[in-house]
Amino acid sequence: MASASQTDLERRKQISVRNIATVGNVNDIKQSFNRHLHYTVVKDRNVSTSRDFYLALAHSVRDHLTSRWIRTQQNYYEKDPKRVYYLSLEYYMGRTLTNTMINIGIQSACDEALYQMGLDIEELEEIEEDAGLGNGGLGRLAACFLDSMATLGMAGYGYGLRYEYGIFTQKIIDEEQIEEPDDWLRFGNPWEKARPEYLIPIHFYGRVLHDETGAHWIDTQTVQAMPYDSPIPGYQNNYVNTMRLWCAKSPHNFNLKFFNNGDYIQAVLDRNFAENITRVLYPNDNVFEGRELRLKQEYFLCAATLQDIIRRYRNAKFGEQTVDRNSFDEFPEKVAIQLNDTHPSLAIPELMRIFIDLEKMSWEKAWNICTKVFAYTNHTVLPEALERWSCGLLAHVLPRHLEIIYEINARHLQRVSELYPNNLDKLRSLSLIEEGDDKKVNMANLAVVGSHKVNGVAAIHSEIIKKTVFKDFYEMTPEKFTNKTNGITPRRWLLLCNPGLSDLISDKIGEEWIIHLEQLQQLKQFINDANFIRDIQRVKQENKMRLAEILKKEMNIEINPASLFDIQVKRIHEYKRQLLNCLHIITLYNRIKCNPNLSIVPRTIMIGGKAAPGYHMAKQIIRLINKVAKVVNNDPVVGNKLKVVFLENYRVSFAEKIIPAADLSEQISTAGTEASGTGNMKFMLNGALTIGTLDGANVEMMEEMGKENIFIFGMNEQEVEQLKQTGYNAWNYYNTNVELKMAIDQINNGFFSPKNPDMFKDVVNVLLNHDRFFVFADYQSYLDCQEKVSDLYKNPIEWTRKTILNIASSGKFSSDRTIAEYGREIWNVEPSFDKLPEPHQTPISKTNNTTVTNNTNNATITNNAKPMKNGLKNE
Ligand SMILES: *Cc1c(COP(=O)(O)O)cnc(C)c1O
């Protein structure tokens, strides 16, 4: 382990010319580290724990952000660019320390400083808790987007909720998933800055009174929203943007009534109820759960954020003066709001309420502004994921918003009936309200009507939404619909997680790829370079050995680093078809048992991911995988030919270790169900080959790399549609495929659960009688394709060539490209690679912001920044 970290350290040292450890900056870091250990952590070295050292390092690194952060916000205030507000109920950030060191350009200096102090920086990095404020792809996308907005110099803000408990910790006990609360703030969070002075009141419940002066939402209960800010540094450009997360706080006068009745104790205890709003992240991925608390979370985010946006808009700089902008005419030129799925779509009626009830604007004018400001990203077509809030619940919690939604709908349906006279079908399908016993608001329809742009997240998905969920909306307003294929940040998903590969790439083509990922194309010229091929193989082997060491150390699992690492990590969901993977495992096992002398390519098949706690079938899938693993791994006949590992508690920091070690990436969803996927992109960028269906971004990955460099199998989207039309009968496949029948019978008869033979009856029942995702239909094609994978793996040179072509073709999947497209085609904001001046350089001011000194000699420059005339009006 020591020698492995040593080579990593060596690599990290040379990673960037703008990231050199000099005697000066190493000494600075050592000094500030010791200062923070003493004054911030309040420890001396003799009694310090690893966590104390981590905190001292985190605070030292944070110090490097502070001036850049303040100055970036000053710069926005001075220049007043259009602000981009990303609204998301989830931000799956993972760890912050290493990413910050990299983006600020001090990683090498920190490595060296800690080394000189006799501390193991990698051990300290492991202390940091993941910020797991997300479920999966949607939350991680928000995190990648924040990184890219800062890197592209956009005035971007991430607005979300500061959940006290993030996504649960998954334990596997007796082959089953057990959820433990994720108490991630237990030891404090050095990356956030509470702003208790900027509380914002949020109202719930109450009733609406109408009089000649308009509507009045009265008798409400109030909860305060307290902002917590975290810095989002761009990649070595001195921009630091803000992620602002709201935390629910009881108002001072909470339950004053009881207070006056003398029940003081009860009044204090009741304060907790209000604060439950931001207590915990709902652990559902792609599933809607219509709970009151979740509705309150969604509204809490929207209401607090809009008040903040409007305050910032009003408080603009006009020449020398700060003036209160009292007209909203410029609002669409200064504000863009992106809705990450429908979760924050109550922002639409909330902005209407502010404009109409509080600002006394006309409906027409308010609506005109709203629709220019909002844009909506759709993330799924699965019906169980689409938000449909009960009107009864809305009437109770947000009575005025329900009225506004009805009014939006009435005017919208008026337009519909003008376009399509006497057409009840159109009225029904385009309505925001779904009639029935329990009337519901279709939030996706609300988001489409209230936005000027609606986007899908991969080309195929953006086409599908135009043909299905939004068919009639597309016919009515085709100009709204657009595609923005997802991406991932190459900083975290290559530079940070795979220093070996990053270094190798930079040796060959320089470092531009870090912010211009298309440049990876240049690697194609080395496709026949034997040394390069060997180096790529060496790096992959090192990454595999590192993962093997981690699994041995953390979970006491032994795997063979010479075997093919076949990996499927993502949330457990029927549509992602972990069961198909499982059937492949069982089939391989049966083949080995039938013929113990069978010569096969040894595989380690790893599956990881969390199941939503209330999703029975997903939890059964985890159980089945673990039961199958137990049988396979303990069968002496199998030997080292096949090993099955369930990767416990898959999360961002674990993904960073798993993905660089993968040979084969499993992306096997039923065609038409995975909107994009981003895990697929991470694997491709890290030199794994993909076995997958023509679904989500896999389609575009194939276009980029060529179909000979990816293993595509199974039905395409049209074939799936056809099968739905003609009728899918799983029994036909079961009855005609002996290997499939054998695997299913084993699951059904308790072969993997001898103590409880009925354990998986429900799984088999679904597969045979109610399978919405057609697992059996793709089974044979999948098996055949896996044989091709094994065949290619026997030829390491050819395998590695395809690996190189994968890496070289992955440039399109940078979230920088995605964000540049959002900027140009939705937000009307131009990306830029300009840098802000370093903190010690001439400060940003009106008089000399065009002449930036490039002197980097710390000692000779005095920081002559003066406080601005008007102060920094709570930017
Ligand atoms: C990228 C990522 C995901 C999304 O993976 P998909 O395969 O696209 O579903 C989920 N969880 C974590 C921790 C990730 O890093």
- C-alpha of residue 31 to centroid of ligand 1, in Å: 39
Does the C-beta of 140 come closer than 6 Å to ligand 1?
yes
Give the tens place of pLDDT for each residue, 383-429. 999 999 999 999 999 999 999 999 999 999 999 999 999 999 999 99
- C-alpha of residue 658 to centroid of ligand 1, in Å: 12
Rounded to an integer, the average pLDDT of 243-250 is: 98
Q: Hey, whose CA ends up nearest to atom 7 of ligand 1?
A: 679
- C-alpha of residue 89 to centroid of ligand 1, in Å: 16
Tell me the best of 492, 678, 681 to mutate to test the pocket of ligand 1, counting ligand atoms within 8 Å of each CB and taking the most: 678
- C-alpha of residue 137 to centroid of ligand 1, in Å: 5
- C-alpha of residue 680 to centroid of ligand 1, in Å: 8
| pLDDT beyond 80 at 370 | yes
- C-alpha of residue 323 to centroid of ligand 1, in Å: 45
The confidence score (pLDDT) of residue 845 equals: 47
Reading the block at residue 97, the tokens are 């320390």
| pLDDT beyond 50 at 851 | no
The confidence score (pLDDT) of residue 2 equals: 36
- Which of 414 and 6 is assigned the larger pLDDT? 414
pLDDT band for 836, please (50, 70, 90 cuts).
Answer: very high
Q: Could you state, in order of their start, the residue ranges of all structural domains in the chain?
A: 80-95+130-318+327-485+823-836, 490-713+777-811
Distance of CA 604 to the CA centre of its chain: 27
The confidence score (pLDDT) of residue 7 equals: 54
pLDDT band for 258, please (50, 70, 90 cuts).
Answer: low
Tell me the best of 570, 650, 690, 701 to mutate to test the pocket of ligand 1, counting ligand atoms within 8 Å of each CB and taking the most: 570
Give the tens place of pLDDT for each residue, 471-481. 999 999 999 99
The confidence score (pLDDT) of residue 861 equals: 26
- Cα separation, 189 vs 586, whole angstroms: 44
Does the C-beta of 692 come closer than 6 Å to ligand 1?
no
Give the tens place of pLDDT for each residue, 147-201. 999 999 999 999 999 999 999 999 999 999 999 999 999 999 999 999 999 999 9
- C-alpha of residue 135 to centroid of ligand 1, in Å: 9
- Which of 395 and 864 is assigned the larger pLDDT? 395
**Which residues, 6+ apart, have CB-to-CB distance to 870 below 8 Å?**
317, 321, 322
> What is the CATH number that goes with domain 80-95+130-318+327-485+823-836?
3.40.50.2000
How many angstroms separate the Cα of 484 from the Cα of each of 359, 681, 717, 814? 35, 15, 19, 12
Does the C-beta of 105 come closer than 6 Å to ligand 1?
no
pLDDT band for 491, please (50, 70, 90 cuts).
Answer: very high
- Which of 256 and 324 is assigned the larger pLDDT? 324
Paired with 667 in beta bridges are 692
Rounded to an integer, the average pLDDT of 431-455 is: 97
The confidence score (pLDDT) of residue 848 equals: 38
**Which residues, 6+ apart, have CB-to-CB distance to 353 below 8 Å?**
217, 400, 401, 404
- C-alpha of residue 572 to centroid of ligand 1, in Å: 11
Nearest to 89 by CA among 35, 151, 167: 167
- Cα separation, 65 vs 233, whole angstroms: 8
Give the tens place of pLDDT for each residue, 562-583. 999 999 999 999 999 999 999 9
Helix (H) / strand (E) containing 160: strand 156-161
Tell me the best of 496, 571, 683 to mutate to test the pocket of ligand 1, counting ligand atoms within 8 Å of each CB and taking the most: 571
Reading the block at residue 59, the tokens are 């605070």
| pLDDT beyond 70 at 241 | yes
Question: Which of 222-226, 262-266, 723-727 has the weakest average pLDDT?
Answer: 262-266
Give the ligand 1 atom nearest the CA of 569. Answer: 7
Class of domain 490-713+777-811: alpha beta
The chain-wide mean pLDDT, for the chain, equals 94
Give the ligand 1 atom nearest the CA of 651. Answer: 13
The runs of H, that is alpha helices, within 572-716 are 578-594, 616-633, 652-658, 679-685, 698-705
Rounded to an integer, the average pLDDT of 503-521 is: 98
Q: Hey, whose CA ends up nearest to atom 6 of ligand 1?
A: 679
| pLDDT beyond 50 at 240 | yes
The confidence score (pLDDT) of residue 812 equals: 99
| pLDDT beyond 80 at 866 | no
Give the ligand 1 atom nearest the CA of 682. Answer: 1
Rounded to an integer, the average pLDDT of 16-36 is: 86
| pLDDT beyond 50 at 448 | yes
Q: Hey, whose CA ends up nearest to atom 8 of ligand 1?
A: 677
Tell me the best of 138, 140, 461, 665 to mutate to test the pocket of ligand 1, counting ligand atoms within 8 Å of each CB and taking the most: 140
pLDDT band for 210, please (50, 70, 90 cuts).
Answer: very high
| pLDDT beyond 90 at 52 | yes
Catalytic residues: 379, 570-571, 576, 678, 682
pLDDT band for 865, please (50, 70, 90 cuts).
Answer: very low
Give the ligand 1 atom nearest the CA of 650. Answer: 13
Question: Which of 57-71, 539-553, 681-695, 834-848 has the weakest average pLDDT?
Answer: 834-848
- C-alpha of residue 725 to centroid of ligand 1, in Å: 32
Rounded to an integer, the average pLDDT of 585-608 is: 98
Rounded to an integer, the average pLDDT of 31-50 is: 98
Nearest to 842 by CA among 862, 816, 823: 862
| pLDDT beyond 60 at 378 | yes
- Cα separation, 714 vs 720, whole angstroms: 9
- Cα separation, 151 vs 234, whole angstroms: 4
Does the C-beta of 136 come closer than 6 Å to ligand 1?
yes
Give the ligand 1 atom nearest the CA of 576. Answer: 9
Does the C-beta of 573 come closer than 6 Å to ligand 1?
no
Does the C-beta of 137 come closer than 6 Å to ligand 1?
yes
Give the ligand 1 atom nearest the CA of 667. Answer: 7
pLDDT band for 852, please (50, 70, 90 cuts).
Answer: very low
Give the tens place of pLDDT for each residue, 135-148. 999 999 999 999 99
Q: Hey, whose CA ends up nearest to atom 15 of ligand 1?
A: 652
- C-alpha of residue 413 to centroid of ligand 1, in Å: 39
Nearest to 543 by CA among 645, 701, 710, 683: 683
Tell me the best of 488, 573, 652, 667 to mutate to test the pocket of ligand 1, counting ligand atoms within 8 Å of each CB and taking the most: 652
Give the tens place of pLDDT for each residue, 599-619. 999 999 999 999 999 999 999
How many angstroms separate the Cα of 752 from the Cα of each of 589, 590, 643, 747? 12, 13, 15, 6
Q: Hey, whose CA ends up nearest to atom 11 of ligand 1?
A: 136
- Which of 139 and 2 is assigned the larger pLDDT? 139
Rounded to an integer, the average pLDDT of 840-849 is: 50
Q: Do the domains 80-95+130-318+327-485+823-836 and 490-713+777-811 sit in the same CATH topology, yes or no?
A: yes
The confidence score (pLDDT) of residue 256 equals: 65
First to last CA, the chain: 46
pLDDT band for 864, please (50, 70, 90 cuts).
Answer: very low
- C-alpha of residue 136 to centroid of ligand 1, in Å: 5
Give the tens place of pLDDT for each residue, 677-695. 999 999 999 999 999 999 9
Q: Hey, whose CA ends up nearest to atom 10 of ligand 1?
A: 136
Give the tens place of pLDDT for each residue, 638-689. 999 999 999 999 999 999 999 999 999 999 999 999 999 999 999 999 999 9
Does the C-beta of 94 come closer than 6 Å to ligand 1?
no
Q: Hey, whose CA ends up nearest to atom 1 of ligand 1?
A: 679
**Burial class, 258, CB count within 10 angstroms (exposed 0-12 / middle 13-18 / buried 19+):** middle
- Cα separation, 809 vs 489, whole angstroms: 15
Question: Which of 103-112, 263-272, 705-714, 782-791 has the weakest average pLDDT?
Answer: 263-272
Are the C-beta atoms of residues 248 and 161 closer than 8 Å to each other?
no
- C-alpha of residue 610 to centroid of ligand 1, in Å: 11
Are the C-beta atoms of residues 224 and 199 closer than 8 Å to each other?
yes
Does the C-beta of 696 come closer than 6 Å to ligand 1?
no
Q: Hey, whose CA ends up nearest to atom 4 of ligand 1?
A: 137
The confidence score (pLDDT) of residue 842 equals: 56
214: left (phi over 0), alpha (psi -120 to 50) or beta: left
Does the C-beta of 655 come closer than 6 Å to ligand 1?
yes
